[in-house]
C-alpha cells in the first residue's frame, strides 16, 4: 500500500491573495497526485495560478486551504535539498563561468566541492555543454543558457524539478529541440518534474499527465493522463492521438 502512496499529494489546495479589502482567489480546489518519476505538465492561461502552485510546491508561498504533502514513505523529501528550479529566464550569474553557475546550489547547500564539480561535469555533458563550461553566460545562446540552468537545477540531485515556462523565451525551433532534450533528460535522470507552460502542445508532448487550470475563477479543470509512447519523437506531433489530446485541452480552456 505504501508503495502506491503518491510523491506529491494535493487536496483542495486554495490560495487567496489579499490586497487591502480586495481578495483575489489565485487557486481553488486543486486536487491531484504526482507519482515519483512522473512528468506532469501544468497548463493554463496567464493568471490561472500555475506559478502560484509551483511556488507553493517549492515552499516559497504558504497555501490558505487544503493539503499539500510532499514525499512519501518510499520517497523521503527534504524541502531544502530536493527541489531544483528552472525559470523562464536562465538567470545565470553574469560574473560566473558556466561551471561555477551550475555549482551555485551545491555551494549554497555546502555539498563537497570536488564531487559536485565531477557531477557538474557529467551534467554539462548530458545537456551538451561540456565544451563551454569555462565560458561566461554572455558567450552562450539563449538555448545554451537555459540548458545550463537545467544542469544547475540538477546539481544537488533533487527529487523534484519545478519548471516555470522554461522555454517560453526561446525561439520556436530551439524550443522544439529543447522539448526533445528535456524528455531525454527526464528519462535518464528519473526525476519527478512539474512543468508549467501555456503551450498546449508542449504540455501534451512532454507530460505523462497534463493538469489543466483555468482562470476567472482560478480552478482546476481536468487531469488528463497522456497515453502516448514513452519515446516521444517529432512524428508523434502529427499523430491522431496527439491531436485529440490537444483538442481536449483546447476545449477545456474554452477555445473551441
Q: Closer CB to another protein, residue 59 or residue 243?
A: 59
Of 1-9, 17-25, 66-74, 81-89, the window that binds another protein (rule: CB under 8 A) is 81-89
Cell of 58: 517549492
Question: Footprint of another protein on residues 99-118 (CB under 8 A)?
Answer: 104-105, 107-109
Q: Which is nearer to another protein, 164 or 205 (CB)?
A: 164
Give the residue, chosen from 95, 114, 173, 216, that forms a contact with another protein under the rule CB under 8 A. Answer: 95
Stretch that binds another protein, among 7-15, 83-91, 202-210, 226-234 (CB under 8 A): 83-91
Cell numbers at 27, concatenated:
487557486
Tell me how far apart the alpha carbons of residues 166 and 147 are, in angstroms, rounded to a whole number: 10
Residue 204 C-alpha cell reads as 501534451
> Taking contact as CB under 8 A, which single stretch among the options 22-30, 66-74, 86-94, 180-188 is the one that binds another protein?
86-94
DSSP letters along 158-184, please?
-SEEEEESTTTTS-HHHHHHHHHHHHH
CB 123 within 8 A of CB 154: yes
Task: Determine which residue in the list 12, 65, 79, 251 makes contact with another protein, applying CB under 8 A.
Answer: 79
Nearest to 217 by CA among 19, 23, 40, 20: 23
Q: What whole-number distance in Å separates Cα of residue 224 and Cα of residue 15?
A: 23
**Helix, coil or strand: residue 253:** coil
Least distance CB 117 / another protein (angstroms): 17
Residue labelled with grid coordinates 544542469 = 151
C-alpha cell read off for 255 = 477555445
- Given a contact cutoff of 8 angstroms between Cβ atoms, the answer to whether 69 and 2 are in contact is no
Establish if 16 lies at the interface with another protein (CB under 8 A). Answer: no
Interacting span for another protein (CB under 8 A) from 6-14, 92-100, 194-202, 240-248:
92-100
Residues 135-164 close enough to bind another protein by CB under 8 A? 136-138, 156, 162, 164
Residue 27's CB is within 10 A of a number of other CB atoms, namely 27
CB of 114 to another protein, least distance (A): 19
| DSSP state for residue 71 in the 8-state scheme | -
- Residue showing cell 528519462: 187
Site string for another protein, 27-66 (x = CB under 8 A): ----------------------------x--xxx------
Of 93 and 130, CB closest to another protein? 93
Asked if 124 and 99 count as a contact pair (C-beta separation under 8 A), the reply is: yes
Q: Select from 9-17, 79-87, 125-133, 167-175 the region that touches another protein (CB under 8 A).
A: 79-87
Q: Which residues of this chain interact with another protein, rule CB under 8 A?
A: 55, 58-60, 79-81, 83, 85, 87-89, 91, 93-95, 104-105, 107-109, 136-138, 156, 162, 164
Amino acid at each position: 500500500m505504501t508503495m502506491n502512496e503518491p510523491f506529491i499529494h494535493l487536496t483542495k489546495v486554495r490560495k487567496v491573495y489579499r490586497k487591502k479589502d480586495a481578495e483575489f482567489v489565485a487557486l481553488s480546489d486543486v486536487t491531484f497526485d504526482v507519482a515519483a518519476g512522473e512528468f506532469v505538465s501544468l497548463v493554463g492561461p496567464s493568471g490561472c495560478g500555475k506559478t502560484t502552485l509551483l511556488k507553493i510546491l517549492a515552499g516559497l508561498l504558504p497555501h490558505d486551504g487544503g493539503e499539500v504533502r510532499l514525499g512519501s514513505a518510499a520517497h523521503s523529501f527534504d524541502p531544502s535539498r530536493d527541489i531544483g528550479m528552472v525559470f523562464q529566464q536562465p538567470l545565470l550569474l553574469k560574473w560566473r563561468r558556466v561551471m561555477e553557475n551550475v555549482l551555485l546550489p551545491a555551494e549554497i547547500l555546502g555539498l563537497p566541492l570536488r564531487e559536485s564539480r565531477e557531477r557538474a561535469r557529467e551534467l554539462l555533458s548530458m545537456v551538451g555543454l561540456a565544451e563551454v563550461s569555462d565560458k561566461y553566460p554572455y558567450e552562450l545562446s539563449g538555448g545554451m543558457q537555459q540548458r545550463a540552468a537545467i544542469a544547475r537545477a540538477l546539481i544537488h540531485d533533487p527529487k523534484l524539478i519545478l519548471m516555470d515556462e522554461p522555454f517560453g523565451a526561446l525561439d520556436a525551433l530551439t524550443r522544439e529541440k529543447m522539448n526533445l532534450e528535456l524528455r531525454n533528460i527526464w528519462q535518464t535522470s528519473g526525476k519527478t518534474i512539474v512543468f508549467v507552460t501555456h503551450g498546449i502542445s508542449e504540455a501534451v508532448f512532454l507530460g505523462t499527465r497534463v493538469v489543466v487550470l483555468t482562470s476567472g475563477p482560478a480552478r482546476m479543470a481536468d487531469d488528463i493522463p497522456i497515453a502516448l509512447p514513452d519515446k516521444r519523437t517529432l512524428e508523434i506531433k502529427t499523430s491522431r492521438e496527439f491531436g485529440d489530446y490537444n483538442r481536449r485541452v483546447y476545449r477545456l480552456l474554452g477555445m473551441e
